[in-house]
Amino acid sequence: MSDDTGSSQVEPTPRRTSNRRIGFIIAAIALTAIVTAGITAILANVIERMGEARDSYTKVVDLDDTVVDPAVWGQNFPSQYDSYLKTSEMNGTTHAGSQPSEREATELDPRTITATSRLEEDPRLVDMWAGYPFAEDYRHARGHAYMLEDQRYTIRVADFEQPGTCLNCHASTVKLMNDLGDGDREAGFQAMNQMPYNEVTQLVDHPVACIDCHDPETMDLRVTRPAFEKGIAALKKSEGIDDYDVNRDATRQEMRTFVCGQCHVEYYFEKDTKELTFPWSKGLDIDEIWEYYGEDGHKDFTHATTGAEVVKAQHPEFDIFWSNSVHAANGVSCADCHMPYKSEGARKVTDHHIQSPLLAVNSSCMTCHHTSAEEMEDRVVSIQDQFIGTRDVAFDSLVALIRALETAQTDGTPAEQIDAAREFQNKASFYLDYVYSENSYGFHAPAYIQRILADSLDASRKGQLVLQGVDPESLEPSELSLENEQKTAERGNR
């Protein structure tokens, strides 16, 4: 057969056509088998991952409020427990974290490793706290694994009588409070606070652990410390919200901060009952807390060389973060940065290796920030460097005021001038201590913390001026300053 171009074409024979069809059929069957196998594998994987995600843990042991040992909880939650154990590691960042310091064990203190001393790093702390146990022993905080051990052997506890209140944040106390209160945790809390530390610490075996933040039946986050329950209720009341129950009314994301806020806060012990109390009934801003202390009359110690009555600030991470942090304002919780999620198969697991985010930048910061890890670290360290620079100016001014007061007591300076200067020392010390003892080195709320340091510096300056004979009333803010302050307050920024 010829086409119109003149070329010839040979028709396939019937046998060759049959072979080609068989080949097509075999190839189709093989392709179908491969596709089917692939789809089946994908579905199996999806089903397996869905199962992993749905079955958040395998129940090996029963848990309830009598199970304190985290190793037992770890049988149901091995991944979380393994990361919890890593809190025994000591790692430092440019400014924070902890580095090991070797020591010779003694009969009274068996530790061979502690963290380095902050008093040796900065002797101005001894001036600020003269007459208070913190001037005797103050070290960088090691991980949660050491919180009970380090408290038992610090000179602040070994050489000074302390109440059982201290255990609220250094030991797992849920079972202890339930036992002391015969099932009534609030009653047990009150009893524990009033017991001598050396007596009540014999009743606990573990630092803060799983039971202190998790419901053993549902694994939901929960607040177990009565002091926080009362403190946050008082704070909410100051905001116009009555009858606030944190375990009933807080969202899950809020709880990822509140469970940390049970301990990382500003607090004091009530004079007679030694009850752990959070000064939040006027608000969470430092000025509102300072006003609270002014009305309550609480003082922690008499300064050894100046005679000033001083309020010792604690470690108000929650107070600063919750009230003035851009992260908190955008819904970020403490756990998001310090206990970031990690993936295990299809499961999203919270890393219980609580530490500085700078030691896990990729999982902590880079889930939200679209930059390099190196740039992220540089940004944080830059904020902390600026904090330290301003802090040093305020610190030098406070020490200068302390020296001036020491001199004034022997050079004939009128008593009323000395008393006025002591009041300024109290404020300068509290405001500086408030951000010194807060563990973010200025990072949690940079602008707010700079303002606090400015107020500390101003109080030291005024103290020195009144010792020179300047009338304290002449140091009041100018009308223009008050006007600006009022406008700022109306905008809700102070």
pLDDT tens for each residue of 412-423: 999 999 999 999
Residues 6+ apart with CB under 8 A from 473: none
- φ/ψ (deg, to 5) at 348: -105, 110
pLDDT tens for each residue of 313-330: 999 999 999 999 999 999
Average pLDDT score over residue span 333-345: 94
Question: In this predicted structure, what is the pLDDT of residue 7?
Answer: 44
* pLDDT of 47 higher than 60: no
Average pLDDT score over residue span 402-417: 98
**Comparison of pLDDT for 7 and 169, the residue scoring more:** 169
Closest by CA to 225, choosing from 194, 188, 199, is 188
* pLDDT of 300 higher than 60: yes
Question: In this predicted structure, what is the pLDDT of residue 5?
Answer: 42
Average pLDDT score over residue span 132-145: 97
Decide if 218 contacts 189 (C-beta within 8 A). no
Confidence of residue 3 (pLDDT cuts 50, 70, 90): very low
pLDDT tens for each residue of 393-403: 999 999 999 99
Decide if 467 contacts 475 (C-beta within 8 A). no
Q: Kindly report, as residue ranges, where domains of CATH 1.20.140.10 are found in the chain.
A: 376-479
Give the predicted TM-score (pTM) of the model: 0.87
- φ/ψ (deg, to 5) at 100: -70, 145
Q: Kindly report, as residue ranges, where domains of CATH 1.10.1130.10 are found in the chain.
A: 62-209
Average pLDDT score over residue span 345-351: 89
Question: In this predicted structure, what is the pLDDT of residue 96?
Answer: 87
CATH, domain range 62-209? 1.10.1130.10
Average pLDDT score over residue span 86-93: 95
pLDDT tens for each residue of 159-206: 999 999 999 999 999 999 999 999 999 999 999 999 999 999 999 999
Question: In this predicted structure, what is the pLDDT of residue 44?
Answer: 59
Decide if 310 contacts 302 (C-beta within 8 A). yes
Q: For 250-367, where are the alpha helices, taking DSSP H only? A: 252-261, 286-296, 317-324, 326-329, 334-338, 361-364
Residue 8 forms beta bridges with which residues?
A: 2
- φ/ψ (deg, to 5) at 98: -145, 150
CATH, domain range 376-479? 1.20.140.10
Q: For 308-372, where are the alpha helices, taking DSSP H only? A: 317-324, 326-329, 334-338, 361-364
Q: Which of 15-19, 315-319, 411-415, 448-452 has the lowest mean pLDDT?
A: 15-19
Average pLDDT score over residue span 359-373: 94
